[in-house]
C-alpha cells in the first residue's frame, strides 16, 4: 500500500522548488518544463498513465514526484479523440485510477508526491485541486483520496487548516513548515513506523 501525498499551490508558490533537497528521488515530469533550481536530476517526461504506473512500480527509489500532475487532465482533454461527455468520464477515471493504483499496487515504503495547481470553487470559495469537468469535483472529491494534502503558499507548506490542507493528527508539529519535501518525506516515514 503506497502513500500518495497531494501538494497543492498556485503557480510559483514553491511546489516544484520543494523537490530541491530530496536527494534520492524519482521524478516524472508531465510537461516539458525546467525545474526552478539548478539540478542534475534524472527524470521521465510523459503524460501517459500506463508509463507512469510502470515507472512508479519499477522505480528503485521510494520517493517519487509527479510534477505538474494536473496537466495529465489537461493533456487528455486537449488531445483525446473521445467526443462528448465520454471524454470527461475518461479523464476522471484515468486520474482516479492512478491514485488508487498508488494505494493498492505499490509497496508500503513508496511515497508518491502529486503536484497540482489549486483552484477556488466558484460557489463555496473552497480551495481544491484544479481539474477538468465536474466529475472529479462533484462525484469524486480528489483531495478526499489523500490522507495528506499539503498546500503551498509563499514557499511554505500548510499541513492543515488552510483550504483543503490536512494531515494525520500529530504528524507535523506545526501548521506551517518549510516547503522542503526532504523534511516532509522524513516526517511521513517516521510517523508511519520507520518506512524505508
Which pTM value belongs to this model? 0.94
Give domain status of residue 171, yes or no: no
Which range marks the domain in which residue 152 is found? 3-156
Domain count, the chain: 1
Say which CATH number the domain at 32 has: 3.40.50.300
Residue with cell 503558499: 153
What are the pLDDT digits (tens) for 29-60? 999 888 888 878 888 899 999 999 999 999 99
Give domain status of residue 97, yes or no: yes
CA 13/CA 52 separation, integer angstroms: 25
Per-residue pLDDT band for 196 (boundaries 50, 70, 90) equals low
Q: Which of 106, 98, 59, 44 is nearest to 76 (CA)?
A: 98
Q: Residues, the chain, total?
A: 196
Give domain status of residue 191, yes or no: no
Give domain status of residue 178, yes or no: no
Strands 148-153 and 156-158 turn out to be: antiparallel
Give domain status of residue 32, yes or no: yes
Check residue 166 and report its DSSP letter.
B
H/E run at residue 175? none
Q: How far is CA 129 from the centre of its chain?
A: 10
What are the pLDDT digits (tens) for 74-111? 999 998 888 888 888 899 999 999 999 999 999 999 99
Amino acid at each position: 500500500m503506497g502513500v500518495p501525498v497531494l501538494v497543492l499551490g498556485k503557480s510559483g508558490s514553491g511546489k516544484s522548488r520543494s523537490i530541491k533537497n530530496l536527494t534520492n528521488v524519482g521524478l516524472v515530469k508531465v510537461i516539458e518544463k525546467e525545474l526552478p533550481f539548478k539540478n542534475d536530476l534524472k527524470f521521465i517526461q510523459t503524460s501517459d498513465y500506463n508509463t507512469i504506473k510502470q515507472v512508479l512500480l519499477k522505480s528503485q527509489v521510494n520517493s517519487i514526484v509527479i510534477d505538474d500532475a494536473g496537466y495529465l487532465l489537461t493533456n487528455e482533454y486537449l488531445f483525446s479523440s473521445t467526443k462528448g461527455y465520454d471524454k470527461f468520464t475518461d479523464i476522471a477515471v484515468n486520474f482516479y485510477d492512478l491514485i488508487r493504483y498508488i494505494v493498492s499496487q505499490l509497496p508500503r515504503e513508496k511515497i508518491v508526491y502529486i503536484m497540482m495547481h489549486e483552484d477556488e470553487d466558484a460557489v463555496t470559495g473552497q480551495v481544491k485541486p484544479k481539474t477538468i469537468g465536474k466529475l472529479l469535483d462533484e462525484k469524486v472529491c480528489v483531495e478526499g483520496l489523500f490522507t495528506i494534502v499539503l498546500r503551498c503558499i509563499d514557499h511554505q507548506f500548510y499541513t492543515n487548516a488552510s483550504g483543503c490542507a490536512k494531515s494525520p493528527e500529530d504528524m507535523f508539529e506545526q501548521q506551517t513548515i518549510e516547503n522542503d519535501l526532504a523534511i516532509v518525506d522524513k516526517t511521513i516515514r517516521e510517523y508511519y513506523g520507520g518506512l524505508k
